[in-house]
Amino acid sequence: MSTHLVWFRRDLRLHDNLALAAACRHRAAHVVALFISTPEQWKNHVMSPRQAAFIQAQLNALQQALAEKGIPLLFEEVDDFAGSIETVKAVCEQHDVSHLFYNYQYEVNERERDAAVEKALPHVVCEGFDDSVILPPGAVTTGNHEMYKVFTPFKNAWLKRLKEGMPECVSAPARRENGSVSSALVPINLHYPQQEFDPALFPAEEKAAIARLRQFCQQGAGEYDECRDFPAIEGTSRLSASLATGGLSPRQCLHRLLAEQPQALDGGAGSVWLNELIWREFYRHLMTYHPNLCKHRPFILWTDRVRWRDRAEDLQAWQEGRTGYPIVDAAMRQLNATGWMHNRLRMIAASFLVKDLLIDCRKGERYFMSQLIDGDLAANNGGWQWAASTGTDAAPYFRIFNPTTQGEKFDREGEFIRRWIPELSHVPGKAIHEPWKWAMKESITLDYPQPIVDHKLARQQTLAAYEAARKN
Ligand code: FAD
């Protein structure tokens, strides 16, 4: 009897898991699953303790769910990718594995690791799958078979391609008649720092994540367009952690959306949420075509010559939510307290770090990764490069967010700011967006910092720094 090994990585689910479904397709095969934890690797890539806790919870749920299907989950811990290669080899020898199934990861180190694993297993049939995207990298290209450099034409081509052939979801595997799993499961513990997360907001169990997706597509997706930019309301899905770790697949999101909002593909209700899934695909495709993005090189090369001011005390004030700009500080405090930040705020906080404090966006990118429960190299890198104008944003570098007007526009009454900055709760109405002006007028001393930079001046300095780099 042949033995099929499924190597789980960022695909911690049973439903619509292409590698798992393929491994289970042959009824007679014996199926074994494997997860390898790589704490040293995670440390280098600054995986956040919240994401580690989330993955640990997902793994324990997955172990239980696999056991119910008669599939044992082996758990190994090694330092890094070299250790992973040895481990897969050893597991294949030990279990006399004939076939290895895994879902692709598109980051450059992961791709090199997978190539090395396949090379190390000349007698095992290895099969990889494009599981973490709806359309695989390479499927959406320009007439010259190149990757698009801006989002909108990519999106149009993506939608056209999707309508030509929609990838289906595959079912969770049936219970295996020949499966054997010990009845007492040993809990999986990752040897990596962990920090608590709120399971009501970030469901680690697959069933709960699917239920959240269904609920959002029924209720939130149709109103997403009007609600998504206002951080004081729950206007977005909060499914990013599940998508980043593979607790849900993007195909599941697409099919559930179309089931609840059938007009989403044609610009009707739900189409703006679909756009976000396409952004996710865009950055994954981009990273595959431009592996240098994984090495944190800018997409627009001349921006590497910008002379950053990089003041350590400014970086610290930003990280701690003490810049004196309420919307930026509230955003950073939300991130530090929960491991998640609203998308509009990610744009504002990132723009402030780069374009007001003139700090290299890679420092912000790294800090986000160290805190985010949904940390994802492609999306985070894409978002930071977008905000810093070093990436694929169609708007040029001189588009600079004004942190005060952004607050006035997207948190008009200051509801979100008051939630996260209790020191400002007594500042009345819209004065909350410039509390220093109100405090001066009222002759009051606030327990809240003065702005650490003057936005107007900072803007001029940033424009000059970018201009000098461009001309160099
Ligand atoms: P929804 O608005 O409900 O969107 C649905 C899903 O679409 C998200 O869960 C996510 O998977 C995807 N998505 C939405 N917007 C984007 C986008 N702009 N780019 C790529 N995918 C998107 N997203 C991450 O998943 N991980 C990150 O590390 C990350 N870092 C970011 C850093 C910056 C500076 C910026 C500007 C954006 C970043 N994003 C990141 C994208 C976006 O902010 C989050 O995906 C979103 O806020 C997650 O909340 P949600 O699940 O409620 O999203």
Q: What atom in ligand 1 is closest to the CA of residue 240? A: 9
> What is the CA 93 to chain-centroid distance, rounded?
35
Tokens read off for 88? 């897969």
In one-letter notation, the amino acid at residue 233 is: I
Q: Is 286 in the pocket of ligand 1 (CB under 6 A)?
A: no
- 240 pocket-lining for ligand 1 (C-beta < 6 Å): yes
Alpha carbons 141 and 161: distance in angstroms, whole number = 10
Q: How far apart, in whole angstroms, are the C-alpha atoms of residue 111 and residue 127?
A: 13
- What distance in angstroms lies between residue 423's CA and the mean position of ligand 1's atoms? 29
DSSP assignment of 344-380 equals HHHHHHHHIIIIIS---HHHHHHHHHHH-TT--HHHH
Q: How many residues are listed for the chain in this entry?
A: 472
**What is d(CA 267, CA 408) in angstroms, rounded to the nearest whole number?**
29
Determine the distance separating the centroid of ligand 1 and the alpha carbon of 239, expressed in angstroms. Answer: 9
What is this structure's pTM? 0.98
Ligand 1 center from residue 360 Cα (angstroms): 21
Closest CA to 202 of 368, 372, 370, 347: 372
Is 347 touching ligand 1 by the criterion CB < 6 Å?
Answer: yes
Helix (H) or strand (E) holding 102: strand 97-103
**Does the beta carbon of 339 sit less than 6 angstroms from any atom of ligand 1?**
no
Residue identifier of the C-alpha nearest atom 35 of ligand 1: 383
Q: Ligand 1 centre and the CA of 369: distance in Å? A: 13
What is the position in ligand 1's atom list of the atom closest to the CA of 374?
26
Cα–Cα distance measured from residue 248 to residue 206, given in angstroms and rounded to the nearest whole number: 7
The closest alpha carbon to 141, from 128, 125, 153, belongs to 153
Distance 194 CA to ligand 1 centre (A): 22
Residue 256: name the closest of 215, 206, 203 by CA. 215
Nearest CA to ligand 1 atom 31: 380
| CA of residue 343 to ligand 1 center, whole Å | 6
Pairing verdict, β 73-77 and 30-37: parallel
Centre of ligand 1 from the C-alpha of residue 418, in Å: 24
Contact present, 270 and 222 (Cβ < 8 Å): yes
Question: Which residue has its alpha carbon closest to ligand 1 atom 43?
Answer: 343
- Residue 218 in tokens: 């029924």
Average pLDDT of the chain to the nearest whole number: 96
Task: Please tell me whether the interface predicted TM-score (ipTM) of this complex is above 0.95.
Answer: yes
Written as tens digits, the pLDDT of the chain (472 aa) is 799 999 999 999 999 999 999 999 998 899 999 999 999 999 999 999 999 999 999 999 999 999 999 999 999 999 888 999 999 999 999 999 999 999 999 999 999 999 999 999 999 999 999 999 999 999 999 999 999 999 999 999 999 999 999 999 999 999 998 877 777 899 999 999 999 999 999 999 999 999 999 999 999 999 999 999 999 999 999 999 999 999 999 999 999 999 999 999 999 999 999 999 999 999 999 999 999 999 999 999 999 999 999 999 999 999 999 999 999 999 999 999 999 999 999 999 999 999 999 999 999 999 999 999 999 999 999 999 999 999 987 778 888 999 999 999 999 999 999 999 999 999 999 999 999 999 999 999 999 999 999 999 999 999 999 999 999 8
> Which letter does DSSP use for residue 174 in this model?
P
What stretch of H or E contains 328? helix 326-338
CA of 220 to the centre of ligand 1 (A): 16
Would the CB of 338 count as within 6 Å of ligand 1? no
Question: Per residue in 358-409, pLDDT tens?
Answer: 999 999 999 999 999 999 999 999 999 999 999 987 778 888 999 999 999 9
Tokens 């985010």: give the residue. 372
**Ligand 1: which residue has its CA nearest to atom 5?**
276
**Residue 302 CB contacts under 8 Å (≥ 6 apart), including other chains:** 469, 470, 472
Residue nearest to atom 9 of ligand 1 (CA): 240
